[in-house]
């Protein structure tokens, strides 16, 4: 497969066209942003961790029947994925209170919910990714009722699988963000990434933060945290 021209550059990844019309190549960067792009920085080695971790998790999910965009890891930073058009919804699943949930509803971080929550935001940087519900999403024609039903069902299934997988590596899955895409035949599949950029991950015993909150909140040892998560996930596999 030949890598052709770049068609998109986001905050953390670049996407390239290939000579196969149904395949893209994604390239993960070390660039980090937070607070809708207001805070910028570099996390050395992040691109490689996020690439390898996303691929490991997507392969695990595929084995359990979740359709994903993963095709083939090319090297440390590059992966072949199925071509999709991204559904402009960010799906957030929460198992434990943190971040905006704690802030918006005036509760402390660390409350373990009886069951997971789901919320959507409209993926639109100019508007600051505002929260919306499924009726708004349909009114805006971002997705059909059937597509939203599929996205909700897959998101909770993914949560169950990821929670168990992380726990086996000594990590609590606090919350995370997913994005889905439509293939050319209209099938909804998991796309984007699953990494310490998009998940809150706390050590099972100490609740030490092992994710992008170390960058957002200037807690130090950001690089170490990303490497530590990857090390634990691979150790668990060995
Ligand atoms: N998240 C993300 N991208 C976003 C917003 C949130 O990956 O644009 C992830 C974030 O890392 C966390 C979860 O979604 O794991 C919930 O984030 P929250 O709504 O609490 O917002 P935050 O405090 O991260 O801005």
Provide the pLDDT for residue 52: 98
Report the predicted TM-score, pTM, of the whole model to 2 decimal places.
0.97
Q: Which residues pair with 32 in a beta bridge?
A: 41
Provide the pLDDT for residue 85: 97
Provide the pLDDT for residue 155: 99
Pocket of ligand 1 (CB under 6 A): 90, 92, 99-101, 129, 175-177, 198-200, 212
Mean pLDDT (whole number) for 83-104: 98
Mean pLDDT (whole number) for 137-162: 98
Provide the pLDDT for residue 223: 98
The residue whose CA has the least distance to atom 11 of ligand 1 is 198
Provide the pLDDT for residue 61: 98
The closest alpha carbon to 151, from 117, 116, 178, belongs to: 178
Q: How far apart are CA 127 and CA 124, in angstroms?
A: 6
The closest alpha carbon to 91, from 131, 135, 48, 36, belongs to: 131
The mean pLDDT of the chain is: 97
The residue whose CA has the least distance to atom 13 of ligand 1 is 176
Provide the pLDDT for residue 238: 65
Provide the pLDDT for residue 36: 86
Which percentage of the chain shows pLDDT scores above 70? 99
CA of 150 to the centre of ligand 1 (A): 22
Which percentage of the chain shows pLDDT scores above 90? 97
The closest alpha carbon to 99, from 115, 110, 88, belongs to: 110
> Which residue among 53, 54, 100 has the greatest number of ligand 1 atoms within 8 angstroms of its CB, and so is best to mutate?
100
The residue whose CA has the least distance to atom 6 of ligand 1 is 177
**Residue 24 burial (10 A CB sphere; 0-12, 13-18, 19+):** buried
CA of 238 to the centre of ligand 1 (A): 30
CA of 161 to the centre of ligand 1 (A): 20
* Residue 97 binned pLDDT confidence (cut-offs 50, 70, 90): very high
Provide the pLDDT for residue 12: 97
């Amino acid at each position: 497969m030949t890598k052709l021209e770049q068609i998109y550059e986001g905050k953390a990844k670049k996407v390239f066209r290939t000579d196969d019309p149904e395949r893209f190549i994604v390239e993960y960067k070390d660039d980090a942003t937070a607070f809708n792009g207001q805070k910028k920085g570099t996390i050395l080695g992040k691109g490689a961790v996020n690439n390898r971790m996303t691929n490991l998790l997507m392969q695990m999910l595929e084995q359990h029947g979740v359709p994903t965009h993963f095709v083939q890891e090319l090297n440390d930073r590059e992966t072949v994925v199925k071509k999709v058009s991204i559904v402009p919804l960010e799906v957030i699943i929460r198992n434990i209170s943190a971040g905006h949930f704690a802030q918006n509803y005036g509760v402390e971080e660390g409350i373990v919910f009886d069951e997971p929550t789901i919320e959507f935001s409209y993926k639109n940087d100019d508007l600051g990714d505002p929260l919306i519900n499924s009726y708004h999403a349909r009114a805006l024609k971002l997705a059909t009722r059937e597509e939203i039903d599929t996205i909700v069902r897959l998101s909770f299934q993914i949560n169950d699988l990821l929670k168990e997988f992380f726990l086996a590596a000594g990590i609590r899955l606090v919350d995370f963000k997913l994005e889905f895409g439509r293939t050319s035949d209209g099938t909804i599949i998991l796309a984007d990434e699953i990494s310490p950029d998009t998940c809150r991950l706390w050590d099972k015993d100490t609740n030490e933060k092992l994710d992008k909150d170390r960058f957002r909140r200037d807690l130090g040892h950001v690089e170490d945290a990303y490497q530590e998560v990857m090390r634990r996930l691979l150790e668990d596999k060995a």
